[in-house]
């Protein structure tokens, strides 16, 4: 599936930048073009992958190019005043080649979360393709400062307008992924979190694409499969797991020299697929959700073609359907001959709500 990736605000632009970098490194490509729209000149300058011509500063009359420090009212005012120019910045991209827009933002800030609904509405008037959102939730602290309380309230105010504006919202909870005594504001931590999110997004959207040598999956996840899974504008959680594998070999002369690959035992492949899929589903998701609230799902498995056992993958899909209670579990594979690992990506979609978002809405009401 081919994407137009838009970074909105500082955090959203960094996420878009990381997604673009991950796409460039991969054996497949799902990113057609990228753009960053922000009110902080310094944050735009720090981006590494999005071309400089595609980085756009706005809100300078009220923010002086230094951002709005989480003030939603100022962010909304700037978005409304400069919407025409911001839309043009996106419209100037190679939009005709995109199957969907991916709008990335932090829900806790004052820039991206206020721009996203406004920009999405304008894009929907012109383009007949899905608009997906990526929304990052703030971390939590035992003793919250005034700034942290405001960020939580901001996220609570932002989530419903963003959900209404998008066809689906990929939620990533920083509170779930930061370790004790860490802060998502620390550059190293922030980079790790963004790469964690980007890895999962790229695995999903590259699944239906041919690799750079032209090879296509046996069971393709085409754009329509993704669109059908992500329909109805609700929350999406992603699960992901990998497992290293050891390709079976034998020595030609029994001396441990001149080894060659031999046929893979089917039981070994089945066990590897089963284990990896269960870890993806039962492990840490991008946001904690009730598996029973899932209406639709998508299972993507990847690895060397000989390890992608058809029976094991079919059984894994059936198991996922039982775990979620959903009758709409789609699937596909990513054959990668030169890798030494199995991967499983699980998309849990159509989720109406989750505890974390309810807590943030409560924070907004109590502000």
Is the separation of the CB atoms in 202 and 23 below 8 Å? yes
**3-state secondary structure at position 296:** strand
Dist. CA 47–CA 41, nearest whole Å: 11
Q: Residue 357's closest CA among 282, 287, 292? A: 287
| 228 labeled binding residue | no
Token readout for 134 is 């990526």
Is the separation of the CB atoms in 115 and 75 below 8 Å? yes
Token readout for 84 is 């025409």
| 325 labeled binding residue | no
Token readout for 285 is 């998701």
Q: How many helices (H) and strands (E) does the chain have?
A: 13, 12
Is the separation of the CB atoms in 217 and 208 below 8 Å? yes
**C-alpha to C-alpha distances, 215 to 207, 218, 229, 337, nearest whole angstrom:** 12, 9, 24, 10
| 112 labeled binding residue | yes
**3-state secondary structure at position 297:** strand
Q: How far apart are the first and last CA of the chain?
A: 41
Find the angle CA(240)-CA(245)-CA(249) to the nearest 5 degrees: 160
Q: Which residue has the tokens 């942290």?
A: 148
Q: Residue 132's closest CA among 104, 94, 90, 172? A: 104
C-alpha 217, offset from chain centre: 21
Token readout for 61 is 């009359």
Half-sphere exposure of residue 67, counting CA atoms within 13 Å on the CB side? Answer: 17
- What contacts 71, CB < 8 A, 6 or more positions away? 110
Binding annotation for GTP: 110-112, 174, 194
Binding annotation: 110-112, 174, 194
């Amino acid at each position: 599936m081919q994407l137009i990736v838009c970074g909105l605000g500082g955090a959203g632009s960094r996420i878009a930048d990381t997604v673009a970098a991950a796409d460039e490194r991969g054996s497949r490509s799902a990113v057609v073009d990228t753009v960053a729209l922000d009110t902080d000149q310094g944050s735009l300058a720090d981006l590494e992958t999005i071309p400089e011509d595609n980085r756009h500063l706005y809100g300078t009359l009220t923010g002086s190019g230094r951002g709005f420090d989480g003030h939603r009212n100022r962010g909304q005012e700037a978005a409304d005043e400069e919407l025409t120019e911001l839309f043009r910045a996106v419209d100037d991209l190679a939009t005709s080649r995109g199957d969907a827009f991916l709008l990335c933002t932090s829900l806790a800030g004052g820039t991206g979360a206020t721009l996203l609904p406004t920009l999405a509405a304008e894009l929907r008037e012109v383009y007949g393709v899905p608009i997906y959102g990526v929304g990052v939730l703030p971390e939590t602290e035992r003793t919250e400062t005034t700034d942290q309380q405001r960020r939580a309230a901001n996220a609570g105010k932002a989530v419903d307008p963003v959900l209404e504006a998008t066809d689906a919202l990929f939620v990533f909870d920083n509170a779930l992924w930061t370790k004790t005594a860490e802060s998502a504001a620390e550059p190293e931590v922030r980079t790790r979190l963004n790469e964690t999110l980007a890895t999962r997004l790229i695995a999903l959207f590259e699944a239906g694409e041919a690799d750079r040598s032209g090879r296509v999956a046996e069971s393709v996840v085409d754009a329509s499969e993704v669109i059908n899974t992500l329909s109805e504008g609700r929350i999406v959680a992603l699960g992901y797991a990998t497992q290293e594998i050891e390709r079976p070999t034998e020595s030609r002369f029994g001396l441990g020299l001149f080894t060659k690959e031999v046929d893979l035992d089917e039981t070994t492949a089945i066990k590897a697929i089963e284990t990896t899929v269960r870890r993806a589903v039962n492990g840490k998701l991008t946001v904690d959700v009730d598996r029973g609230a899932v209406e639709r799902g998508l299972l993507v498995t990847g690895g060397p073609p000989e390890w992608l056992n058809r029976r094991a993958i079919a059984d894994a899909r059936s198991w996922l359907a039982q775990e979620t209670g959903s009758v709409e579990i789609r699937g596909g594979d990513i054959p990668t001959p030169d890798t030494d690992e199995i991967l499983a990506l699980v998309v849990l979609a159509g989720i109406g709500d989750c505890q974390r978002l309810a807590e943030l809405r409560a924070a907004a009401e109590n502000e």
